[in-house]
């Protein structure tokens, strides 16, 4: 299976809406960038066997919290749910980031997750 196909299979499972939004945002400006995300991030990295998809999403939630990447964090919080994570697991990861990234990052991460939780209940 080629990188693009492997990446799209994973994206369809956990980030269908987020990827489509990204693709649409980049289409007129940098269409290759969305393809790179599919091929590299998901086709090369997420498709590796050493970690399951749930673990990969929790690690990604942690990393995006540390970076303060709120837009991407929201997409990955939803992706974490789609990969089998519970709210409690996601919140626990966000709380742990207070140790490594500080309370502001953890608080902002929890606020982003809370927004995703509310949207998912609608």
Domain boundaries, the chain: 1-50, 51-122
Whether the Cβ atoms of residue 11 and residue 38 lie closer than 8 Å to each other: yes
Q: Which fold has domain 51-122?
A: AhpD-like (1.20.1290)
CB-based burial label for 46 (10 Å; 0-12, 13-18, 19+) = buried
Mean pLDDT of 29-46: 94
1-50: which CATH number, 1.20.1290.10, 3.40.190.10, 1.10.10.10, 1.10.1740.10? 1.20.1290.10
Whether 2 has a pLDDT exceeding 90, the answer reads yes
Lowest mean pLDDT among 25-29, 46-50, 111-115: 25-29
Q: Residues 6 or more apart from 75 whose CB is under 8 A from it?
A: 15, 18
Residue with tokens 């960038």: 33
Judge if 1-50 and 51-122 fold alike in CATH terms.
yes
What's the DSSP call for residue 84? T
Task: Report pTM.
Answer: 0.91
Res. 1 pLDDT band, cuts 50 70 90: confident
Q: Residues 6 or more apart from 33 whose CB is under 8 A from it?
A: 26
> Residue 58: what pLDDT?
98
The pLDDT tens digits of the residues spanning 66-91 come to: 999 999 999 999 999 999 999 999 99
């Amino acid at each position: 299976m080629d990188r693009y196909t492997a990446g799209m299979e994973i994206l369809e499972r956990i980030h269908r809406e987020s990827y489509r939004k990204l693709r649409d945002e980049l289409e007129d400006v940098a269409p290759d960038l969305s393809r790179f995300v599919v091929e590299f991030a998901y086709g090369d990295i997420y498709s590796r066997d050493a970690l399951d998809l749930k673990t990969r999403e929790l690690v990604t939630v942690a990393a995006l919290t540390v970076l303060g990447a709120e837009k991407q964090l929201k997409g990955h919080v939803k992706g974490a749910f789609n990969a089998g994570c519970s709210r409690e697991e996601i919140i626990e990861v966000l709380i742990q980031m207070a140790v490594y990234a500080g309370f502001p990052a953890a608080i902002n991460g929890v606020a982003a997750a809370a927004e995703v939780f509310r949207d998912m209940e609608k």
